[in-house]
């Protein structure tokens, strides 16, 4: 596989040899660092939003540096150079050697996203520590293909033309005369045959053959060769756009839903990123703000639901203004209701700092947003959820109050131990009720 340079979200990359062993910077040798700079410059011309996630700056005594934030995943810089960006996750046990635990949690997080195409993935037999994200995504795809084969590859009636010894289907007169002028015992016919050579299967076979060329993982190579045996009667697609346009997902082909999404990723370079530039079309990037929101929402539904709460995500019940018409929709990430009680929860993927004088790094506009939620939903219970980091691991409770009408509490979510973390939030809600009594 391509050379992979691994960094963690918010890491700063430099080519200054003075920082080869620095804990503050990630060192990248000059040739590849310059390739990365060129990639970013080209990308900037294609999509101005690039600096929301990857930024070039200069630092005194260091020189040019590149910082990556907000998005995680895999960036294909050149055909033989990739950058793997992992989320910054805090562990109570300390350092995550080889980022093995980080990868496992990240995979769990992205699978919580509604549009992420993988539901049956198991990492039980994978050496995740030694695999980059692209190899893991390939393995996800192969597990989905294996599941399809177990259920049975779909067949369809395919029109076939052949010179037969007996009349079958429709006689193609002009071809029959041309082919059988001296072979009167034969018939050139077109007929329907129940066959697996349908668009969905052609695309999957094409994807398998392509992945066989790019993977360097021995397990993936072995699995692909094994799976290709089930597609022996299928011709690989040579016109991806045409075959994708012919794919029809209905109740008889619902098993292909996830596979077709993955196949587009591998054959058409379709990514999960919101960026549109051609450079990033070969990358798999995920907005961590959305990943965190989805991951928290999934477990809040599970944990709060078990306690009798009704949970709704991205609620659109209210607007900031009602006249002259509803304007500026309010969409809190999560609204929890239990009886007459309403709790608003908003997630923010940001590392807070242990500095009360700087409001712990909380953005003022976020607080304005929380205040608007409080007023429109007529509730004093507002919670901001941030990922737990090393600096705030043992911090005391943070709460902001505007009289008795609006209270904004901060809760830190330990993504490595999310169920216990969110049960702790329920405990805080119960404490609020007890205090009011």
Determine contact, residues 254/78, Cβ cutoff 8 Å: no
Residues of the chain predicted below pLDDT 50: 1, 274-277, 279
Q: Which of 53, 62, 47, 50 is nearest to 14 (CA)?
A: 62
Q: What is the rounded distance in angstroms from the CA atom of residue 97 to the CA atom of residue 129?
A: 9
| Residue 240: predicted pLDDT | 94
Q: What is the tens place of the pLDDT at every residue in 164-187?
A: 766 776 777 777 777 776 676 687
- How do the residues of the chain divide into helix, strand and coil, expressed in percent and rounded to 5? 45, 25, 35
In this predicted structure, what is the pLDDT of residue 274?
Answer: 47
**CATH code assigned to 289-436:** 3.40.1350
Q: What is the pLDDT of residues 366-394, one digit of tens each?
A: 999 999 999 999 999 999 999 999 999 98
The sign of the torsion formed by the CA atoms of 310, 311, 315, 320 equals positive
Predicted pLDDT at 331 = 93
Domains in the chain: boundaries = 1-86, 135-155+199-271, 157-195, 289-436
What is residue 292's predicted lDDT score, i.e. its pLDDT? Answer: 96
**Tokens at 335, concatenated:** 């609204």
């Amino acid at each position: 596989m391509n050379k992979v340079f691994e960094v963690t979200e918010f890491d700063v990359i430099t080519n200054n040899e003075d920082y080869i062993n620095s804990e503050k910077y990630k060192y990248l040798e000059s040739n590849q660092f310059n390739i990365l700079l060129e990639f970013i410059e080209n990308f900037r011309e294609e999509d101005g939003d690039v600096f929301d996630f990857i930024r070039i700056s200069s630092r005194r005594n260091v020189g040019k540096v590149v910082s990556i934030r907000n998005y995680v995943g895999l960036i294909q810089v050149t055909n033989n150079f990739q950058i793997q960006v992992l989320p910054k996750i805090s562990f109570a046990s300390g350092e995550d050697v080889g980022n093995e635990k980080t990868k496992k949690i990240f995979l769990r997080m992205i699978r919580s996203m509604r549009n992420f195409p993988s539901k049956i993935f198991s990492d039980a037999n994978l050496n995740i520590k030694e695999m980059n994200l692209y190899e893991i995504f390939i393995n996800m795809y192969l597990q989905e293909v294996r599941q399809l084969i177990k259920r049975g590859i779909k067949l369809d009636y395919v029109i076939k033309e052949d010179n037969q010894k007996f009349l079958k289907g429709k006689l193609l007169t002009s071809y029959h005369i041309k082919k059988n002028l001296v072979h009167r015992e034969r018939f050139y016919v077109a007929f329907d045959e129940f066959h697996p050579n349908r668009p969905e299967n052609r695309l999957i076979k094409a994807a398998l053959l392509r992945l066989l060329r790019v993977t360097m993982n021995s397990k993936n190579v072995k699995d692909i060769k094994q799976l290709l045996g089930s597609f022996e009667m299928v011709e690989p697609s040579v016109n991806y756009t045409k075959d994708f346009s012919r794919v029809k997902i209905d109740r008889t082909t619902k098993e292909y839903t996830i596979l077709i999404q993955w196949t587009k990723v591998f054959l058409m370079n379709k990514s999960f990123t919101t960026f549109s530039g051609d450079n990033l079309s070969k990358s798999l990037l995920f907005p961590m703000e959305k990943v965190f929101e989805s991951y928290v929402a999934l477990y809040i539904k599970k944990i709060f639901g078990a306690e009798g709460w009704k949970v709704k995500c991205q609620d659109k019940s209210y607007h900031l203004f009602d006249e002259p018409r509803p304007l500026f929709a309010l969409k809190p990430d999560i609204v929890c209701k239990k009886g007459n009680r309403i709790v608003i929860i908003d997630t923010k993927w940001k590392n807070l700092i242990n500095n009360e004088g700087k409001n712990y790094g909380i953005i003022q506009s976020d607080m304005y947003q929380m205040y608007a939620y409080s007023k429109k939903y007529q509730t004093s219970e507002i919670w901001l959820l941030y990922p737990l980091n090393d600096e705030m691991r043992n911090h005391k409770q943070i709460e902001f109050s505007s009289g008795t009408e609006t209270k904004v509490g901060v809760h830190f979510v330990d993504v490595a131990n999310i169920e216990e973390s969110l049960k702790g939030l329920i405990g805080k809600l119960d404490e609020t009720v007890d205090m009011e009594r």
